[in-house]
Amino acid sequence: MGELKIIIWIILGIIYLISRARKKPTPDLPTRPAEDYGENKPLSFEDLLKEIQSAKGPKAPPQTVIEPAHEFQTVDYDDDVKKEDQPLEDTDYNYKDHDTIYETYEKAKQEAFYRPAMQETLKLENTIVRFGQFKKYEQQARPSLAREYGKDLQDVTNFKKAFILSEILNRRF
């Protein structure tokens, strides 16, 4: 069997080589020298690159001479310089003097003694008690499928179901 496959492949290879040898070669297109193109001479990549770079070249701005309208006065800004070793933040800052949060907190602490406690305000009459409000979310117990079939098989009137069930369970094939 293996030798037959090898012989078939060799025959196919020989047929391929013969068909390639008998096939006529396609004639190449005649090439014209560059002088024959005249105006429509195709540009080479280098020529195109030179054209693009020459178009992108920096253009010289027009030279304009600006004459001063008046003389400028020079100012020395180093005369008013303060001492550079100053701290970046105020170290004597007291946050309790500037923020009102602490006053509000202290005031609330003082008022807390005069308010009634939660135990004093809670009354049993104000509590809503509803029993069985979550009963509808409980899952109902469903009998299993095997239990239903067992009940059906015990009943004499359900002979048809029992026969179909026995055919399904006792396959012959």
pLDDT given for residue 92 in this prediction? 80
| Cα torsion 148, 149, 150, 152: sign | positive
Tens digits of residue pLDDT in 60-93: 566 666 666 667 777 777 777 666 677 777 778 7
DSSP letter assigned to residue 131: T
The rounded distance, in Å, linking the Cα atoms of 115 and 108 is: 10
| pLDDT band of 13, cuts 50, 70, 90 | very high
Distances (CA, A) of 29 to 13, 26, 32: 31, 9, 9
The pLDDT of 15-33, averaged and rounded, is 73
Cβ(165)–Cβ(153) under 8 Å? Answer: yes
pLDDT given for residue 159 in this prediction? 77
Encoded amino acid at 164, one letter: I
Look at residue 95 and tell me whether its pLDDT is greater than 80. no
